[in-house]
A and B are shown apart, each in its own frame.
Chain A
Amino acid sequence: MAVQALDAARLPVDWAKLVQKLALATALFVVAYGVVPAYASGYLVEAILLPFLALSLAAVGLNLLTGYCGQLSLGSSAFMAVGAFGAYNFNLRVEGLPLAVTMILAGISAAGFGVVFGLPSLRLRGFYLAVSTLAAQFFVQWALTKFGWFSNDNPSGVISAPHLAVAGLSLDSATGRYLLSVTTVMVLTALVWRLVNSATGRNFIAVRDNETAARVIGVPVLRTKLLAFAISSFIIGIAGVLWAFTYLRTVEPAGFNLDRSFQILFIIIIGGLASIRGAFWVRRSSLSSRSFCPGSAHSCSAACSIRAFST
């Protein structure tokens, strides 16, 4: 796969394909910024698009780590929680911090946290690494519950989202929150797209495909792994902010449980590891199949999409 990517970079420009891609991108923009805000019902935006965007972004982030760099992680919802609670606290404790800065700071806290819990990846692989990332999952939930400071000493440990505004423009309406979400997701996805096609992205793939060979050809394996953890957690952290601020508008630590981590992992497994598009397709299909399986937990929606895909 690494070789293919290199070849693709050297091929002469295929104009027809480029025009097709541009047309597709324009259509996407028109739908995202024109059609949806103008015509979508409140239900579609609040109950389907907002969770879809947040979880898809988390899946994009995890895909970078698991799909591209080959490091299996079960701590995704912990990183989402760090992002959500980080953003809440930055917003609460620093007066007048712009929303974009809050989100970036939250992402950076999640990234720092990701690096710490990525350290075992230097020694562990596969299932052993997955189990060690479980520690992140349980530690974060425990810490957020144990120390009331994180939820501003709210007795039930639930935070509620602050007023959202960019440059004095209120984004509290459903459409405003949707626009904030969709813009964030688009920007970050574009950056990830760029990243996986860069030298760093090829390093990720080299580490995934054969760590020893990667080391032999001069890929800095340790740095690459930690970088993958950092960037992936950054993106998942921002997905957590979107989940808390734009979708639920309230969050308790228990909302970021292991189920959610599995849900994100299943999205990328079903959508295809190392496929950015897959993150979005599966999330959509899992949402649309939700209504058919009212009987069990969230992970059921992933199971349903397995069924939908196999048929």
Chain B
Amino acid sequence: MTFFSHLRKAAIATAFVLGATAVHAEEQYFPLQSYRVGPYAAGGTGFFGGFIDYLNLINIRDGGVNGAKLAWSEGETQYEVEKGVEVYERLKSNPGIAAWNPLSVGIAYAMIDRITDDKVPLITINHGRTDTTDGRVFPYVFPLLLNPYSETSGIVNYIASKEGGLDKLKGKNIVVLYHGSPYGKETIPIYELLSQKYGFELSQIEVPHPGNEQQAQWLTIRREHPDYVVLRGWGVMNPVALKTAQKTGFPADHIIGNVWSNSEEDVIPAGDAAKGYTAITTQASGERYPVVQEIVKTVYGDGKGNLEDKSRIGSVYHNLGIVNGILNVEAVRIAQAKFGNRTLTGDEVRWGFEHLKLDPARVEALGAKDLFHSINVSWDNHEGDGYVTFQQWDGKKWNVVSDWIAPDWKLLRPIIEKSSEAYAKEKGIKIRTAEDADAVVSN
């Protein structure tokens, strides 16, 4: 009897010690709603590959962020909202969640209410719901670097610079070919507005998801005789658009791709039809950046690289994943400086994102000079004023053909605020102040 009770005490004590050590190892967790199969697998594997590669780099090279190891696990969504929600429900009970990165507007929309209740940030880098830029109404949603309206403004400014100034846009004819999804439709009103402001003629044509048949749309475009076609595509829609454009005789160098039509996976399948095609980007492609080099050396050298096809290292989506990794990790680091080097709560990481300021010098220190420009997020501006650049495909690789261009944020902010305030009214949300943003839930 006494022997057994001793044994039990010993067992309990052991369990306690083991449990305590498990708690003691600081760990920050990233739930990944990734998609590696389906029509958008090229984007999913590249982006999540880059993201995981960067997290691995931090773990291997630095032993985590100030000692807090980075952890993650994946759930397959196939870019479908129902599956995204299922994965969210499955992964949300894991401890130490830093942020969600679904890389799908549809899934992000479905998660806004849920993550706001959980008080965990939702990152929609380069995409997302535009009015979530307004941190006063959406405390936990971050369309980092570039929201869809800024992207639109950047593209129109670029076309203007090619034509010789914004006043030269008058009378020009621009067609927007967009993906038939929430993501694709997001920019319809802003193109309308810019067309009125600058006096260019505009028609917007939808391509139903997934977009592998576009004959009718391109015949319409041929009838319209536009000066430029803006391709707001995604996945398989992009190469099909380029090939169909060639078939109907529209020149590739007058097609401007948006930020989700700018990857190698979009142009290589189109072959010659893509030569001369230009697209916007927030992060340059290529392997020459120190951070990418370190990933090749440390992570792939260690056999832990996430991309199966090593030729995709440094591709647009892979580099976007790396940039996304940098932004997430730096937000954690900034939050740690305030709250201590330990596993942070979602709300603390939110505070980190709201103070995510990386000037060009800091970007250089992170080994990402020229990979992306800078970011300057604040509690009410969740986009962070990202800069854009344009790259042209020469048949083999992307070449940067413009400087870093700033979108017209001043023009866009009132439209965004109007939309977010309407949302706040519809949902009965109290508009946040700077003091509210500083109140952080720490457990």
Decide: B186 and A155 in contact? CB cutoff 8 A.
yes
Whether A248 contacts B86 in the complex (CB less than 8 A), given A152-B426, A157-B185, A163-B428, comes out as no
Residues 158-199 of chain A: 1 if any B CB is under 8 Å from the residue's CB, otherwise 0? 101111000000000000000000000000000000000000
- Among B33-73, those with CB < 8 Å from A are 37
The answer, yes or no, to whether A156 is at the interface (CB within 8 Å) is yes
Would you call B394 an interface residue if the criterion is a C-beta within 8 Å of the partner chain's C-beta atoms? no
A250 at the B interface (CB under 8 A): yes
Chain A 28-56 near chain B by CB (<8 Å), digits 1 or 0: 00000000000001110011000100000
The answer to the question of B93 belonging to the interface, with a C-beta cut-off of 8 Å to chain A, is yes
Residues of A with C-beta under 8 A to B187: 155
A95 to chain B: closest CB distance in Å? 12
Between B86, B130, B187, B426, the greatest number of chain A beta carbons within 10 A of the residue's beta carbon is seen for: B86
Residue from B82, B130, B206 in contact with A155 in the complex, judged by beta carbons closer than 8 Å: B130
B110 touches A156 (CB 8 A): no
Measured in the bound complex, the distance between the Cα atoms of B77 and A298 in whole Å is: 11
Set of chain A residues within 8 Å of B106, measured between Cβ atoms: 158, 252, 255
B182 & A156 in contact (Cβ 8 Å cutoff): yes
- In the complex, what distance in Å separates the CA atom of A92 from the CA atom of B109? 19
Q: Is B189 among interface residues, defined by CB-CB distance under 8 A?
A: yes
- What total of chain B residues lie within 8 Å of the partner, measured CB to CB? 36
Task: Tell me if A96 counts as interface (CB < 8 A to partner B).
Answer: no
Partner of B181, one of A92, A254, A297, A298: A254
Instruction: Decide if B438 is an interface residue (CB 8 Å cutoff).
Output: no
Residues of B within 8 A of A158 (CB): 106, 109, 182
List chain B residues, Cβ under 8 A from A161. 113
* Minimum C-beta distance from A181 to chain B (A): 15
CB contacts (< 8 Å) of A47 on chain B: these are 85-86, 89-90
Q: How many A-B residue pairs have CB under 8 A?
A: 77
Nearest residue (CB) in A for B185 is: A156
Q: Is B119 an interface residue (CB 8 A)?
A: no
Separation of A295 and B78 alpha carbons in the complex (Å): 9
- Using CB atoms, name the residue of chain B closest to A295: B37
Interface residues on A, range: 20 to 34
Residues of A within 8 A of B89 (CB): 42-43, 46-47
Residues B90 and A43 in contact, CB atoms below 8 Å apart: yes
In the complex, whether B250 has a CB less than 8 A from a CB of chain A is no
Q: B76, B85, B113, B183: which contacts A156 (Cβ < 8 A)?
A: B183
Q: Is A249 an interface residue (CB 8 A)?
A: yes
The B interface, classified by DSSP as helix, strand, loop or mixed, is helix
By the criterion CB–CB under 8 Å, are B113 and A248 in contact? Answer: no
Question: 1/0 per position for B79-105, CB-CB distance to A under 8 A?
Answer: 011100110011011000000000001
Residues of A within 8 A of B428 (CB): 163
| Distance in Å: Cβ of A168 to nearest Cβ of chain B | 15
Contact for B109 among A42, A156, A162, CB less than 8 A: A156
Which A residues, 197 to 249, have Cβ-Cβ distances below 8 Å to chain B?
A: 247-249
B188 within 8 A of A: yes
User: Roughly how many angstroms separate A161 CA and B78 CA in the complex, as a whole number?
Assistant: 23
* Cβ-defined contact, A252 with B182, below 8 A: yes
B251 CB-CB contact with A under 8 Å: no
**Chain B residues near A51 (CB-CB < 8 A):** 82
Q: CA A297 – CA B38 in complex, angstroms?
A: 8
Q: How far is the CA of A247 from the CA of B110 in the complex (A)?
A: 10
Q: Which of B37, B109, B419 contacts A250 (CB 8 A)?
A: B109
How far, in whole Å, are A5 and B259 apart by their CA atoms in the complex? Answer: 63
B188 and A155 contacting across the interface, CB-CB below 8 Å: yes
Determine the chain A residues whose CB is within 8 A of the CB of B426 once the complex forms: 92, 152
Contact partners of B136 in chain A: CB under 8 A: none
A12 at the interface (CB under 8 A from B): no
Query: B81: which A residues are within 8 A, CB to CB?
Result: 248, 250, 252, 255
Of B76, B110, B181, which is within 8 A of A294 by CB?
A: B76
Q: Taking CB as reference atom, which chain A residue is nearest B186?
A: A156
| Nearest CB on A from B111, distance (A) | 9
**Inter-chain contact A157/B182, CB cutoff 8 Å:** yes
* In the complex with contacts A155-B189, A163-B428, A249-B110 CB distance below 8 A: yes
Judge whether A249 and B114 touch: CB under 8 Å: yes
Provide the residues of chain A in CB contact with B114, threshold 8 Å: 249
For chain B residues 96-149, which have a beta carbon within 8 Å of chain A? 105-106, 109-110, 112-114, 129-130
Closest partner residue, chain B, to A257 (CB atom): B209
A149–B185 Cα distance when bound, in Å, is 15
Q: How far is B130's CA from A110's CA once the two chains are assembled, in angstroms?
A: 32
Whether B180 is near chain A, meaning CB under 8 Å from some CB there, is yes
For B82, the chain A residues whose CB sits under 8 A away are 51, 248, 255, 298
> In whole angstroms, how far apart are the Cα atoms of A295 and B76 in the complex?
9
How far does the alpha carbon of A156 sit from the alpha carbon of B427 in the complex, in Å?
17
Residues of chain B contacted by A43 (CB below 8 angstroms) = 89-90, 93
Q: Which residues of B contact A254 (CB under 8 A)?
A: 180-182, 209
Q: Which residues of A contact B (CB under 8 A)?
A: 41-43, 46-47, 51, 92, 145, 152, 155-158, 160-163, 247-250, 252, 254-255, 294-298
4 extra interchain contacts, Cβ-Cβ under 8 A, other than A43-B89, A158-B106, A160-B112? A155-B130, A163-B427, A249-B110, A250-B110
B contact residues vs A (CB 8 Å cutoff):
37, 76, 78, 80-82, 85-86, 89-90, 92-93, 105-106, 109-110, 112-114, 129-130, 180-183, 185-189, 206, 209, 419, 426-428
4 closest Cβ pairs, A-B complex:
A156-B182, A47-B89, A47-B86, A46-B89
Q: Give me 25 A-to-B residue pairs in the complex whose CB atoms sit less than 8 angstroms apart, sorted by A's number.
A: A43-B93, A46-B89, A47-B86, A47-B90, A155-B130, A155-B186, A155-B419, A156-B182, A156-B185, A158-B106, A158-B109, A158-B182, A160-B112, A160-B113, A248-B82, A249-B114, A250-B81, A250-B109, A250-B112, A252-B106, A252-B109, A254-B180, A254-B181, A254-B209, A294-B37
